[in-house]
Amino acid sequence: MRKPLIAGNWKMNGSAELVEAFGRAFAEASLPAPVEVVILPPFPYLDAARQAFADTPVTLGAQTLNPLHSGARTGEVSGQMLREFGVDYVLAGHSERRQLYRESDEEVYDRVIAAFSVGIRPILCVGETLEERDAGHTEDVVLRQVGYVMARLDPEQRRRMTIAYEPVWAIGTGRTATPQQAQQVMAAIRRYQAGFDRELAGELRLLYGGSMNASNAKELLAQEDIDGGLIGGASLKVDDFIAICQSAG
């Protein structure tokens, strides 16, 4: 049985006030017990978020990490440091980092391994651009991104991996993949994983991301291979985000 996961990626957004507002709302809301809820705020808010969410079931994630534990890497934050803040999850390979910061599959893999080495669970993000989709390359692109990392992991690491399918053309555009489009790609990811281990494939947690909101979440989350969501814009709106969490229960 795969536990649903709803993760709010705040990207470079938010404020101390928003952290507080979420803390209050999570304390009052009845979040469905089987659903795991994670907020990924920018680094400066991690400590405040840890305190604000302390009496709630919500856990913390980070949006990236540097693969090194420490050293001369001005501006970077290591997995060890994040672990000290009680971070449970970290994103690796978000399309904004692949595109804007030129992160390669190899660098994404390095981050995944660095996360595992300090006991943080990576969420590997994959997805095709509109040009790649229009050219009929969606599954090739997505399975290459998945395969580069998964093929290099050991079975225990594969078991602890979460994969988020985020079509680039659906991120921040209001243009969500249809539930059928998302399901098709996510079923392909699970079939690919079955090539390593059939039992593990059944356990692999797959999230959809890309303009998921309070109105479309239920239908997306009802798809057989969609086990949760990675939410951007709607994770900055308290009521909408809680509604999405509730629709996963």
Residues in 67-126 at the binding interface with ligand 13P, rule: CB under 6 A = 94
Q: Which of residues 146-205 bind ligand 13P (CB under 6 A)?
A: 166, 171-172
Residue 17 appears among annotated catalytic residues: no
Q: Computed from CA positions of residues 17, 232, 125, 53, in that sequence, does the dihedral angle turn out positive or negative?
A: positive
Q: Which stretch binds ligand 13P (CB under 6 A): 71-79, 131-139, 196-204, 207-215?
A: 207-215
What is the size of the binding site for ligand 13P (CB under 6 A)? 14
User: Could you tell me the smallest distance in angstroms from the CB atom of residue 70 to ligand 13P?
Assistant: 27
Q: Catalytic: 166?
A: yes
Instruction: Report the alpha-carbon angle 146-67-36, nearest 5.
Output: 60
Closest to ligand 13P by CB, 23 vs 209, is 209
The token duo for 220 is 């997306």
User: Does residue 206 touch ligand 13P according to CB under 6 A?
Assistant: no
| One residue of 232, 241, 245, 248 binding ligand 13P per CB under 6 A | 232
Say which residue the tokens 């928003």 belong to: 18
Q: How far is the CB of 165 from ligand 13P (least distance, A)?
A: 11
191, 142 in Cβ contact below 8 A?
Answer: no
The enclosing H or E element of 198 equals helix 198-203
Helices 238-247, 16-28: crossing angle, 10 deg rounding: 40
- Residue among 36, 103, 128, 166 flagged as catalytic: 166
C-alpha distances in Å from residue 123, one per residue of 28, 104, 167: 28, 16, 15
Please state the separation of Cα 221 from the chain's center in Å. Answer: 15
The residue from 94, 96, 103, 132 that is catalytic is 94
211 binds ligand 13P (CB under 6 A): yes
Min dist CB 212 to ligand 13P, Å, is 6
Does 4 bind ligand 13P (CB under 6 A)? Our answer is no
- Residue of 9, 145, 162, 193 that binds ligand 13P (CB under 6 A): 9
Least distance between ligand 13P and beta carbon 120 (Å) = 17
Q: Does 41 bind ligand 13P (CB under 6 A)?
A: no
Question: Longest Cα pair distance anywhere in the chain, in angstroms?
Answer: 49
Q: What is the 3-state secondary structure of 156-195?
A: HHHHHCEEEECCHHHCCCCCCCCHHHHHHHHHHHHHHHHC
Q: Please tell me the distance from the alpha carbon of residue 102 to that of residue 65, in angstroms, as a whole number.
A: 15
Q: Which of 38, 49, 112, 230 binds ligand 13P (CB under 6 A)?
A: 230
| Three-state DSSP string of 78-93 | EHHHHHHCCEEEEEEC
The set of catalytic residues is: 94, 166
Binding site for ligand 13P (CB under 6 A): 9, 94, 166, 171-172, 209-212, 230-234
